[in-house]
Amino acid sequence: MATCARNALRWFICLLFAGAVSSPLGADEAANTTAVKANEFLNSIGVCTHISQGEDHPAKVAECLTYAGIRALRDDGPKNPKTLQSFIDLYKASGAKVVLLPKNGDIAASLDQYETLAAAGALLAAEGPNEPNNFRVTYKGAASSKETSMPVALFQKDLYAAVKADPKLAGIPVFHSSEAGGSQPDNCGLQFLTLPDGAGTLMPDGTQYADYANTHNYVCAHLKSMSEDNIAWNAEDPTLKGKWDGMYVEYGHTWRGKGFDGYTPAQLETLPRVTTETGWSTRVGKGGHPDAISEEQQGRLFLNLYLAAFKRGWSYTFIYMLRDSAGQGYWGLVHTDYTPKLSADYLHNLTTILADKSSSFTPEKVNYAIPNKPAIVHDLLMQKSNGTFELAVWGEQVKGASDIIVNLGGTFASVKVYDPTIGTAPTQTLSNVSSVPLTLSDHVVILELVK
């Protein structure tokens, strides 16, 4: 988790990687598509908090999470045992589960915290050390350094084994150590979840590190104030060697020095993965970004970011961070006084429109298509447990707009059009239609389809 000392590095982390953009997908790629469950998309929405550091007030955090519809939070393993109860109380108030970082070098203490949260139903996942390239890991008397990541590797291996051996943590996944793969100076195999045979690393074949790859692919990376199209879409590309600290440079071919080989592009496409930090600051200065964006831009971008990540196979996305702070920076969805920024308002609208709490159904198909779809237009078909389809269609266009037609592959009795940047009521209601014209620019609209 970021600290005050770390935030001087924040802008630098966002400038690390440079490269090409991805090619557009086919014009009719979505035809005859099976919907994903709206509830599962909503479960993927996360945010980073600073409760363990004493910066965020748990009760106010719970109110903000409830308002925005955020179902997951990420925070440090607390030094004060009483803080664990704060996470449990927060979970009971908001329903948001916790991804908890470990105690530095202490497996037993980390396990104890995980067990406490899990017993209350409040634990979503255990996570390995945060950015060991920036924060040294000390384990069994040895410390990670510019010369070796071996303490990180040994700790991550033992943490994984301990969680999996603990019956009190049955079903709890382990997230990899963030940035550990890309930054390792020696080849400890941290670019893998499980070391394959013949990997040729310093750790033995078969070593298990994690269930999910874990990146900090900040969407602001090396970009000047929303200057390019498809910023969120490309940041979530699992194979792109681009401007973002993404899957390729962490798990494909690592970025430090000459780098070490990991997974192939085909393997990266299907590797289980999470983003535990991403975002963009709305203010230049301490902890901010040298090319901060407006609150309006941030609000629209974050909607695209959550949707693009889920569409491209990321199980969870945690935006850094919930609340603006003079110490941690102005990356938040809410202001320093916990009042919502536009990013929280727009997310509230989106999660209200998509609201659902059940995954106990088999999703159906819609034979829809977007003929001649521009490269800046993306789509995600979701279905609620009541059978209603929710088709998210969004643009990632910096300037101007694109006119498209969504062919629905059949006649729907009712189609409601929602714009989360306007509110939670439909902006248009259509009856007995088989196609819907849209003008898209830089944010999502939702088509609610009822047969």
Predicted local confidence at residue 15, as pLDDT = 40
The total of structural domains in the chain comes to 2
Residue 16 located in a structural domain? no
Residue 4 located in a structural domain? no
Query: Which stretch of 12-26, 62-76, 237-251 has the lowest confidence by average pLDDT?
Result: 12-26
Neighbours of 372 (CB within 10 A): 9
pLDDT, one tens digit per residue, over 346-373 is 999 999 999 999 999 999 999 999 999 9
Predicted local confidence at residue 319, as pLDDT = 98
Same domain membership, residue 401 and residue 332: no
Same domain membership, residue 307 and residue 279: yes
Q: Is the pLDDT of residue 405 over 60?
A: yes
Q: What is the domain-level CATH number for residue 442?
A: 2.60.40.1180
3-class state of residue 397 by DSSP: coil
pLDDT, one tens digit per residue, over 365-401 is 999 999 999 999 999 999 999 999 999 999 999 999 9
Q: Is the pLDDT of residue 259 over 90?
A: yes
Q: Which of 219, 210, 227, 275 is nearest to 247 (CA)?
A: 275
- Rounded to the nearest 5°, which phi and psi values hold at 317? -130, 120
410: its two tokens: 């059949």
Distance (Å, whole) CA 281 – CA 156 = 31
Predicted local confidence at residue 341, as pLDDT = 98
Predicted local confidence at residue 16, as pLDDT = 42
Query: Which stretch of 16-20, 55-59, 130-134, 405-409 has the lowest confidence by average pLDDT?
Result: 16-20
Same domain membership, residue 371 and residue 243: no
Supply the pTM of this predicted model: 0.93
Distance (Å, whole) CA 7 – CA 210 = 27
Distance (Å, whole) CA 275 – CA 221 = 14
- Residue of higher predicted confidence among 314 and 28: 314
Same domain membership, residue 276 and residue 213: yes
Mean pLDDT across the stretch 82-100? 97
Question: Using only C-alpha atoms, what is the Rg of the chain?
Answer: 21
Predicted local confidence at residue 327, as pLDDT = 86
Residue 165 located in a structural domain? yes
Distance (Å, whole) CA 68 – CA 418 = 17
Neighbours of 71 (CB within 10 A): 21
What residues make up the domain containing 438?
A: 365-450
Distance (Å, whole) CA 276 – CA 279 = 10
Same domain membership, residue 240 and residue 192: yes
Q: What is the domain-level CATH number for residue 340?
A: 3.20.20.80
Same domain membership, residue 137 and residue 79: yes
| CA distance readout (Å), 261 to 121, 200, 249 | 38, 10, 10
Helix H or strand E segment including 162: helix 150-165
Q: Which of 25, 17, 16, 23 is nearest to 242 (CA)?
A: 17
Same domain membership, residue 279 and residue 415: no
Same domain membership, residue 326 and residue 246: yes
Query: Which stretch of 9-13, 210-214, 254-258, 312-316 has the lowest confidence by average pLDDT?
Result: 9-13
Residue 3 located in a structural domain? no
Same domain membership, residue 426 and residue 291: no
Mean pLDDT across the stretch 103-122? 96
Of the pLDDT bands very low, low, confident and very high (cuts 50, 70, 90), residue 224 is confident
